[in-house]
Amino acid sequence: MSDSIGREFMLKTQYRHMGESAQARGEPQPPLELPYDVTQRPVDLPAPDALHVPPMDLRALIEERITVRQYAGEPLSLDELSYLLWCTQGVKKTDEKHITRRTVPSAGSRHAFETLLLVNRVDGLEPGLYRYVASLHKLVRMDAPPDITAQIMAACGDQPQVKRSAVTFIWVAVPERMTWRYQARGYRYMLLDAGHVCQNLYLAGWALDCGTCAIAAYEDDALNDVLGLDGESQFVIYLATVGRRP
């Protein structure tokens, strides 16, 4: 059957198939965040509360939100980008259990994602590829070829909104953070967590007169290769383009 792999995954990740986790065996938990290139000077982001976001009724926000693939040519401000990053992966605190409490829910507060940004039009930032260091609320510029936008767009089936967007959010999964506690079932939880993150981006962006388009249609190997990911210990799990609504 065409759905046999998916059904097998759902069956094999049921609780009755779970054994002893790495956490239960007393193995140390993975780091909360991947190391970043310390030779690159981090880009300071404005404080998330520096941006005045006009009050908006939650019901209206949910009802009005739609997917937007066409964007105006105006750039986002650095304040707006900072706010969107905070709303999607912002660290509110790190507690005594050595876990991060963030602005989005995650199974067991494992927060298995890193955020990469393909910047096309953001005031104060050169176009290119960046990584969000959530613990510091800063950006780090990543090495990338001049045609990085074209390469990422090609890996996404040439979806033109990647090029049209002001910025594309790319969420990279680090599964060890989740499987340390939940074993193979953790892959289920990462998929759920990706939905939490992207919905926050949709709603936060809409409140800023921006539109968002989630992207799950991409060639995994091609996109991971473009970003220098091995596809196993780190891999792209979801993307979303953002830009000013026309």
Residue range 148-178, pLDDT digits in tens: 999 999 999 999 999 999 999 999 999 999 9
Q: Render pLDDT for 215-229 as a digit per residue (tens, 0 to 9).
A: 999 999 999 999 999
- Burial 183-217, CB ≥16 within 10 A → b, else e: bbbbbbbbeebbeebbbbbbbbbbbbebbbbbbee
Phi/psi of residue 118, nearest 5 degrees: -95, 105
CA 208/CA 200 separation, integer angstroms: 12
Judge whether 139 and 40 are in contact, CB under 8 Å.
Answer: no
CA 128/CA 117 separation, integer angstroms: 8
DSSP single-letter state for residue 76: B
pLDDT at residue 2 in the model? 61
CA 105/CA 189 separation, integer angstroms: 11
HSE value, Cβ hemisphere, 13 Å, CA-based, for 156:
24
CA 108/CA 63 separation, integer angstroms: 30
DSSP single-letter state for residue 211: E
H helix and E strand count, the chain: 8, 9
pLDDT at residue 39 in the model? 85
CA 233/CA 175 separation, integer angstroms: 6
Instruction: Determine the Cα angle at 245 with ends 134 and 53, to 5°.
Output: 50
Token digits of residue 204: 């936060």
Topology annotation, domain 4-34+42-244: NADH Oxidase (3.40.109)
HSE value, Cβ hemisphere, 13 Å, CA-based, for 119:
26
Place of tokens 């759905």: 3
pLDDT per residue of the chain (246 residues) written in tens, 0 to 9? 567 999 999 999 999 999 899 999 999 999 999 999 888 889 999 999 999 998 999 999 999 999 999 999 999 999 999 999 999 999 999 887 789 999 999 999 999 999 999 999 999 999 999 999 999 999 999 999 999 999 999 999 999 999 999 999 999 999 999 999 999 999 999 999 999 999 999 999 999 999 999 999 999 999 999 999 999 999 999 999 999 999
pTM value? 0.96
Q: Give residue limits of the domains in the chain.
A: 4-34+42-244
Token digits of residue 244: 């000013």
Ramachandran region of residue 231, left (φ > 0), alpha (ψ -120 to 50) or beta?
left
